[in-house]
Amino acid sequence: MSESSAGRDNRLSGERRRELHAALAGYYAILDRDDRDLAELLVSAAGARVLQVRIKPGSAAEVLAVARMAREVTRAHGALLVVNDRLDIALAVEADAVHLGQDDLSLEGAQKVASGRLAIGISTHNLDQVERAVVGGADYLGFGPVYATGTKENPDPIAGVDMLRAAVRLAGEVPIIAIGGITPERGEEVAAAGAAGAAAIASVNGAADPAAAGRALATWWRMPPLP
């Protein structure tokens, strides 16, 4: 098999890519603890159509257990499941996507292993990384931190909304999920910068009313088109 046809075989089908893009529009939820009630709430009352399992630190067994639970919950609510960092666990639970950081398995390596069975999202923190991930065929990108975040250990420098806008332009058809310090109030400028959607941990999972916070964030992607 030539390298180019191998590359094509490793890609997600068009139908699954369209399903992914539709689900990414709006609020992208992150499950940061072993909590079925929170998982249920994020994909029902809070309105997320994508749920990422991100358990740090977590042994393979711990992450697998949470991913299994989240697979049940997302199936029941028609949401997509993403597993952070662990392609092996993403495949084991039949997740819809794996989300890889810059220090995880390479995009090329992940595409070979995944063979189009799931989508691959890549965390990016600057325009060079955006360009590389797009050229490499990532199915979607995370980009951040757009604002200061207290959630991630050793975050990259704050990118800001102007760099987010440049990242969106550079990524073209590849959707960008903004991340890092995003709140419902900041959703307006994040959506205006062209992000396909926004991920949030502290401002939703830690809110007094996570369902209301998630819905409020998603609102910025549900605006009627301009006349």
> Residues in the site for ligand 3NM, rule: CB under 6 A?
123, 125, 142, 144-145, 149, 151-152, 155-156, 179-182, 200-203
Nearer to ligand 3NM by Cβ, of 11 and 170: the residue is: 170
Q: Are 214 and 204 in contact (CB under 8 A)?
A: yes
What single-letter DSSP state applies at residue 158? Answer: P
Query: What is the distance between the alpha carbons of residues 181 and 217, in angstroms, rounded to a whole number?
Result: 12
Query: What is the distance between the alpha carbons of residues 71 and 216, in angstroms, rounded to a whole number?
Result: 25
Q: How many Å separate Cα 227 from the centre of its chain?
A: 31
Report the nearest approach of ligand 3NM to the CB of residue 166 (Å): 16
Q: For residue 21, what is the enclosing H or E element?
A: helix 14-24
Report the nearest approach of ligand 3NM to the CB of residue 66 (Å): 15
Place of tokens 């191998």: 6
Q: Is 161 exposed, middle or buried (0-12, 13-18, 19+ CB in 10 A)?
A: middle
Report the nearest approach of ligand 3NM to the CB of residue 34 (Å): 17
Report the nearest approach of ligand 3NM to the CB of residue 5 (Å): 33
Nearer to ligand 3NM by Cβ, of 16 and 220: the residue is: 220
Nearer to ligand 3NM by Cβ, of 111 and 205: the residue is: 205
Nearer to ligand 3NM by Cβ, of 166 and 182: the residue is: 182
